[in-house]
Amino acid sequence: MIKTKTKMKKWFKVIAVFLLMIVVLPGLIYLGLAIYYQDSFMYGTWINGIYCTGKTITEAAEELEQSFSYEELKVFTPYQEEVLPIEELEPSFDFVSALEEYRKRQNPYEWYLNLLKGKEKKEFFPKISFSQHRLEEWIKSTRGYQENLKLKPDKLVICWTDQGYVLKEEKALILNIQAAEQIIKEAIIQGKQEVVLEEESCYFYRDETLEMQKMRELFEKIEQHQSFRLTYVLKEEEKKLQPKDLGAWLLTDSHQIPQLDQQGKLMIEKEKIAEFVQQMAKEYDTWGNYKFTTHNGKEISISKGNYGTQINQKKEIAFLTEWLKNPVETVRIPVYLKDVTYKNKNKIDETYIEIDMNLQKMFYFSQGEKVLETDVVTGWTKRGMGTPEMVCFIQRKSRNAVLKGPGYRSFVNYWMPVYGGIGIHDASWRDEFGGQIYMKSGSHGCINTPLERMADLFEMVEVGTPVVIYGNGNS
């Protein structure tokens, strides 16, 4: 019986020790670590990439301050990029406040939760302190500050350019020193890498003077005048009035500044309108001033004929003068003194007859392709009956015609007059064409053509087709 009681006592001791190990000891460990983490960061704490588990706020702050780097702040101004070296401001970086706030949020009695969560990574920015005096000195060294010390009077200037009148503003951009200083200070405190002062409203312009306001009001009237819209349709081409065209019509003073009348309206110089119309006529008139590229690429100019256009300058000057009184958007077809074109094209470029009197050849081009080439005989130059150089056109087409003139009466199968009594026709009385025949036995001014080739040409060409005749026949 005594032995049994002794054995039971031993088992109770074993059980007591076991209970102590599985209940009391872990509790002691839990309480011990909770007390340990009262003044240090809990397990798994990483701050700015530094392992801070078990470290006090002071210890962690020292390591963070040593590893923290803030080298420069880029300050962008309208003039250039300025670089502010932070070390020149004698800075100090303090992580203590941020660490204390974070440490308060850590419950030391919940340290075991970090075993389950793993690493707890945090990023903190320090409280930055620096020398305000050194910052002021740096600002004074920048170009923006230096420009403030040499400000020139503002002015607005109306200038004439290739684009018409423009307003040039010569205005000083002024740095607000106090605002710039505050913006830079805040940027440093926030650890920014760059700041744009103009975007932060650190620059301003001075108020315009009364003289500048009047100049701006004048330019607004000029700008409105230059924005008037008128498009000339010159056959297949268009010419839109440009600001420089409209601006050139304004009456100006000796400094080329447009003038206002007593009612405050811009004054027009009619002579300038006339110059514009004259220049337009010079550019687009083809009557008596035709430019042509021959079959062999030669550039020639022909001044005679009955083909082309000629603008009625007087009527266009009168129109523009009246239009300016109520300049609504307008599409204008000019009034012509002369207006003879083929399919409303002012230039010969695709379908035409070309007669080279030097070569004694005739060509017919249709849609840009040469479809006929033949020898011809032109006017008898030595007897004063030479065919004139000219730009003309097929006036009509006739069959079985009789051509009459002083001392001759000739029957032709095909007749296409182009200018006065001059035309293109067959000449059955000739056995040969081309070469030098025209010098010994030329025509009375017409273009004599072989019958078969004339028949082909007669069928292909239309009335109105332009005809270009050139070459003096002496080469």
Note the pLDDT tens digit of each residue in 198-222: 888 888 888 999 999 999 999 999 9
3-class secondary structure, 223: helix
Of 323, 76, 290, residue with least CA distance to 175: 76
Residue pair 251/267 in contact (Cβ under 8 Å)? The answer is yes
C-alpha closest to that of 47 among 125, 128, 129: 125
Instruction: Report pLDDT for 474.
Output: 39
Paired sense of beta strands 390-393 and 369-375, if any:
unpaired
Q: Can you tell me the mean pLDDT for 26-31?
A: 60
Show me where the domains of the chain are located.
1-28, 133-210, 227-340, 352-470
Indicate the CATH number for domain 352-470.
2.40.440.10
pLDDT at residue 6 tops 70: no
Determine the pLDDT at residue 473. Answer: 44
What pLDDT is stored for residue 194 in this prediction? Answer: 93
Say which residues have a Cβ less than 8 Å from residue 327's Cβ, sequence separation at least 6: 228, 230
pLDDT of residue 97: 86
Cut 0.95: pTM above it: no
What mean pLDDT, rounded, does the chain reach? 88
Checking DSSP bridges between strand 361-366 and strand 352-356, what pairing results, if any?
antiparallel
Write out pLDDT tens, residues 170-185.
Answer: 888 888 888 999 999 9
User: Given this model, what pLDDT does residue 296 score?
Assistant: 92
Range 113-118 contact pairs with CB under 8 angstroms and sequence separation of 24 or more: 114/42, 114/43, 114/44, 114/45, 115/43, 115/44, 117/44, 118/44
CA distance 425 to 453: 10
Question: What local confidence, expressed as pLDDT, does residue 247 receive?
Answer: 97
Query: To the nearest 5 percent, what fractions of the chain are helix, strand and coil?
Result: 35, 30, 35
| 370-405 tens-digit pLDDT | 999 999 999 998 888 999 999 999 999 999 999 988
Residue type (1 letter), 283: E
Q: Does residue 29 register a pLDDT over 90? A: no
Amino acid at 321: T
Write the Ramachandran bin of 395: left for phi over 0, alpha for psi from -120 to 50, otherwise beta: alpha
Please give the share of the chain, as a percent, with pLDDT higher than 90: 61
- Identify which of 298, 297, 302 has the alpha carbon closest to the alpha carbon of residue 287: 302
Q: Which range among 16-20, 124-128, 307-311, 362-366 shows the weakest confidence by mean pLDDT?
A: 16-20
249 and 276 Cβ atoms separated by less than 8 Å: yes
d(CA 378, CA 447) in angstroms, rounded, equals: 5
Confidence of residue 330 (pLDDT cuts 50, 70, 90): very high
The pLDDT, as a whole number, for residue 27 is 58
Residue 462 C-alpha from the chain's centroid: 45
CATH number of 227-340: 3.10.20.800
Q: For residue 475, is pLDDT > 50?
A: no
Give the range among 50-64, 187-201, 426-440 with minimum mean pLDDT.
Answer: 50-64
pLDDT of amino acid 151: 78
